[in-house]
Chains A and B, each alone.
Chain A
Amino acid sequence: MIPATTGPVGVEVNGFGLRYGGRRAWALRGVDLHVEPGERVLLLGPSGAGKSSLLTALAGLLDPSAADEVEGDVRLDDRPARDARALAGLVMQDPESALVMGRAGDDVAFGLENRGVPTTDIWSRVDEALAAVGFPHGRDSATAALSGGEQQRLALAGILALRPGLLLLDEVTANLDPDGVALVRGVLGRVLAESGATAVIVEHRVEQVLDLVDRAVVLEPGGGVVADGTPADVFGSQGDALAARGVWVPGRPLAVRRQAMAPAGPRLLTGEGVAFRYPGATREALRPTDLTLSAGVATALTGPNGAGKSTLALAMAGLLRPSAGTVRAETALDPPQPARPMWRWRGRDLVTRIGTVFQDPEHQIVTSKVRDELAVGPRQAGVASALIDARVDELLERLGLVALADANPYTLSGGEKRRLSVATALATSPRVIVADEPTYGQDARTWAELVALLGDLRDEGAALLLVTHDEALVAALADVELALPPRTAC
């Protein structure tokens, strides 16, 4: 039985609460929310406030047999969300993990097959959905070759083809570069208008969706709804309180520019003509690039996805062997063997001089406790035990991780993991810090703290290399910006 697509759906949430397995504190408790059919709601709250979980509950996808504890009631058009799944369409933030098929048309058809749409109707609806999002390529285009923005448009098409009465958008621009954000933003307005569906949107880049929503609802970690009204009301009257809690309030300057206080120090790392090509690939992932990192200078590495930013950062950190060019450590960095190229250094020599923060913090996790995680670097560097403990405590304090000292690093929230990965890179007080998207996933408060920390490091004489899409970070901190050109077509 295919549920009829009856138009916009009303939402009723009563006393909803959620506690993740492995946590004592509730993520959300006592959430009451009523949404009229056709309303557009922006859901806000600091990170850890359970916004994604609420959307998952609205989509009827919470699994009762999971270790998480759930209480309360969620209804769509008066039916329990779990039974009304066909009415909701959830688009998530990571399109890479949501692609099911190798070709675009097949991917959109996937949802239609699942809902039992007759074969004869499937392909016309696929074309209709692809057109609705302005998908630039044909049905047979390879999904893996699409840019992030195009992939997210495809994901949206996949949901729209199902004609849901409730659209749930969970940070759909979070993983995209500025071009991708524009691509998706351009489509959202039209899509919302044409479908007429009710929408609940979680988006930390609030300015992007402000004119699409009629209502803003703010959630509190461990609690329920703390503010509800038109965006003007909510941000106007409560703007300060919200900003203090960490909510991204539009129209507020994120951070005052921290100009470097001292002139640039000695050169630490020099990259000349650094290029990289994957074995067997026709195009270069990174075209020959020159880059110099000097003490007390923060360099921002920007550019669209695929331009080779992460590749260059890894090469500078000595973790990737360039296909061409060299990366050299200058005498100021005290290289163990001056002639040796960086990629040949032993790990022990790297860890004391260069701290690397990876794009995915989970790749860096090597122990089962936050405290142990911070101790790894210093221990490998041969620092004395007592000093290690002191350093660990200092870092825990500095990055607001004291309460989580004994937790398994994998159980931290996204933002907490990011802070932990920054902390581990700093543990050995390296002179060079290479960070890939250090501010990703932070709320307003933790963002400001991270920027302050990075600024302090820079002023203490470290060389920073920041790979980032975050224009606010660049504005606040960067002394030098290297913008890599987009990848050229073959």
Chain B
Amino acid sequence: MSTTGLSGTTSTDAVTTASTRGPTARWRTVDIVVASSIGVAFGVVFWAWGNAWNALDAAVAGFPPARAPMYGVWLVPAVLGPLVIRKRGAAVFVELVAAIVSALLGSPWGLYVVAYGLAQGAAGELVFAMTMYRSWRLPTAVVAGAVAGAAAALLDLSFYYADWSGAWQVSYGVLVVVSSAVIAGAGSWLLVRALARTGVLAPFASGADQARV
């Protein structure tokens, strides 16, 4: 058994430590299964949220820009995933799992949700990739949320609202992006900090800053 300190001090198991920390590290089993569990949890949240979403739709008589401020909820996994797991591909994988689960649960949008999940995940992934997977701070989270939101807005505009006037398209896009930056970006960052304080993230780098009691 090696001695590994909390701050990553000298270790006789140096090779293992180096290869399991850091952004290019291989995903461990616990990374894969917990990322999937988070995806499953959000699949549940989305399924419940989706019903509220459709109800809201009926209430605003199909006026999408009115729903846009709440849009950010759909994008949370794309930011939360990487912040917790801190490995390459986390945004895509967690979004994909969440999408598949909500499809399996009977989301009326079926496989659409999976296509959206892939695109949103890829967009979030891009932002973290551009920081070389080294920044897990609030600004990165906010930008990742915004970009993932932009991807979703683009898909919506292409599939459903291609014939809207330019002004409507832009205002829709802006609302979605802002909502995503706040809810999916800042919101995810706050959630992960709260998660770390519960101690449940002990197996992850994101849980490493815990006070000792």
Contact = CB atoms under 8 A, between A and B. Distances in A.
Interface of A: 16, 20-24, 57, 62-74, 80-82, 368, 404, 406-411
B1 A74 contact: yes
Nearest to B2: A64
Contact of B213 (A16, A63, A74, A407): A407
A23 B202 CA distance: 12
Interface of B: 1-6, 11, 13, 16-17, 20-21, 28, 30, 194, 197-200, 202-203, 205, 207-208, 210-213
B198 A64 contact: no
A409 B198 CA distance: 7
B3 A24 contact: no
B203 A23 contact: no
A351 to B, nearest CB: 23
B28 A71 contact: no
A474 to B, nearest CB: 34
Given A67-B207, A408-B197, A410-B199, 12 more contacts: A21-B199, A22-B210, A22-B213, A57-B1, A63-B203, A64-B2, A69-B3, A71-B1, A368-B197, A404-B213, A411-B198, A411-B199
Contacts of A57: 1
Contacts of B21: 65
A64 B4 contact: yes
Most chain B CB atoms below 10 A, which of A69, A80, A408: A408
A22 B1 contact: no
Please list the 5 inter-chain residue pairs (A to B) with the smallest Cβ-Cβ separation, ordered nearest first.
A410-B198, A411-B199, A65-B20, A407-B213, A22-B210
A68 B202 contact: yes
Contacts of B11: 64
Contacts of A62: 1
Contacts of B210: 21-22, 67, 411
Contacts of B213: 22-24, 404, 406-408, 411
Nearest to A13: B1
20 contacts: A16-B1, A21-B202, A21-B207, A22-B213, A24-B212, A63-B28, A63-B30, A65-B16, A67-B210, A70-B2, A71-B1, A72-B1, A82-B1, A368-B194, A368-B198, A404-B213, A406-B213, A407-B213, A408-B197, A410-B198
A57 B200 CA distance: 19
Contact of A65 (B3, B17, B197): B17
A67 B16 contact: no
B17 A22 contact: no
B4 A69 contact: yes
Given A24-B213, A65-B28, A408 B1 contact: no
Interface of A (DSSP majority class): loop
A9 B205 CA distance: 34
A101 to B, nearest CB: 14
A21 B4 contact: no
A93 to B, nearest CB: 18
Given A20-B202, A21-B199, A368-B198, A64 B212 contact: no
A23 B212 contact: yes
B194 A64 contact: no
Given A23-B213, A411-B199, A67 B1 contact: no
Nearest to B209: A67
A72 B211 CA distance: 24
B202 A22 contact: yes
Nearest to A411: B199
A67 B6 contact: yes
Nearest to B205: A65
Contacts of A21: 6, 199, 202, 207-208, 210
A420 B213 CA distance: 16
Nearest to A14: B1
Nearest to A20: B202
A383 to B, nearest CB: 27
B13 A64 contact: yes
A66 B202 CA distance: 6
A452 B64 CA distance: 60
Nearest to B4: A64
B3 A22 contact: no
A409 B92 CA distance: 32
Nearest to B33: A100
B40 to A, nearest CB: 13
Most chain B CB atoms below 10 A, which of A23, A73, A410, A411: A411
A68 B203 CA distance: 8
A425 B200 CA distance: 24
Nearest to B194: A368
Contacts of A22: 199, 202, 210-213
B77 to A, nearest CB: 22
A72 B197 CA distance: 28
Contacts of A407: 213
A258 B210 CA distance: 43
Given A21-B6, A22-B213, A410 B1 contact: no
Contact of B199 (A16, A404, A406, A408): A408
A31 to B, nearest CB: 11
Contacts of B205: 65
A83 to B, nearest CB: 11
B173 to A, nearest CB: 37
B6 A64 contact: no
Nearest to A62: B1
